[in-house]
Structure 1
């Protein structure tokens, strides 16, 4: 069995529910940990800030991507991350992809993005993602064939075309 097949068998996407909120807040906090660690937070304030920022981001994602899918990534039946995708007429937008640190570097993100690219190719659409300029994941997207097409503030819009 190839590594790709083994990885695919361990991964499952399912729609996020209200019951996933605590996991998704924890995931958001883990993604922002490096920048949040730079601040000396009074007791409880960091957690409150992470919850507030998660709520704002979640509301914004859902408002601007009303037809999007908002999935929890499970690996071996345990929540490991999230994949939010908005399938538009000519573009499949990866709104957000994030994994808990212990799941990074194991081919999971690559597998998930390749599935989106396969769907885009089969339907004749582009795939796109906005990546923070200093996000090291940009190298993954470049390796998978994405190219930077625009910079807006701290974000770089990257597109993939078949």
Structure 2
């Protein structure tokens, strides 16, 4: 592992690499966050200014929450051929690797990159005898990917499910 980044055997096949988050990444991260909320924002009768203001407020709250509650996390920008395409926030606990957040820009979704990143994370955890956990919105289109990779719901959190992948005993 370089720079606390996850293994990247499968992700590297997609020319994917990781680098630590830097302050100058904030505009990209705001756009990425907004992209994950577009379907929801499409249903509200707000102006574009109101939608952007709401998205920025939600991003700020989420970012502050993550920083406060996961002080030992690794905050990574996912890049493809040197271009930022996503984010991966990961905390390695003694019994579990918790994916705090993983997201890709819309044009990068569905190309196998997310699957490759997740498979690398699963491999790293398995090599250390650890589970992989993540909170996923019940209506998230990626839910089917998590299920195919062997994640199971271990707790219903209302809008979210806590999913876990467990290594073979």
Match of 2:36 among 15, 31, 37: 31
Question: When the two structures are aligned, how many residues end up with a matched partner?
Answer: 159
Query: Is 1:160–2:165 an aligned residue pair?
Result: yes
Structure 1's unaligned 5+ residue stretches are none
* d(CA) in 2 for partners of 1:152, 1:6: 30
Tell me the equivalent position of 1:107: 112
Q: Does structure 1 retain, via aligned residues, the 8 Å contact 2:16–2:81?
A: yes
Structure 1 stretches of 4+ moved >3 Å: 4-7
TM-score, normalization by structure 2: 0.89
Residue 39 of structure 1 and its aligned partner are, at CA, apart by 1.3
Tell me the equivalent position of 1:82: 87
Query: Is 1:47–2:52 an aligned residue pair?
Result: yes
- CA deviation map 1:99-152 (0-9, x unaligned): 111000111101111111111111111111111111121110111111111101
TM-score, normalization by structure 1: 0.93
- CA deviation map 1:70-97 (0-9, x unaligned): 1111111111111111111111001111
Farther-moved stretch of structure 1 (6-15 vs 111-120): 6-15
* d(CA) in 2 for partners of 1:22, 1:52: 13
Tell me the equivalent position of 2:76: 71
Tell me the equivalent position of 1:19: 24
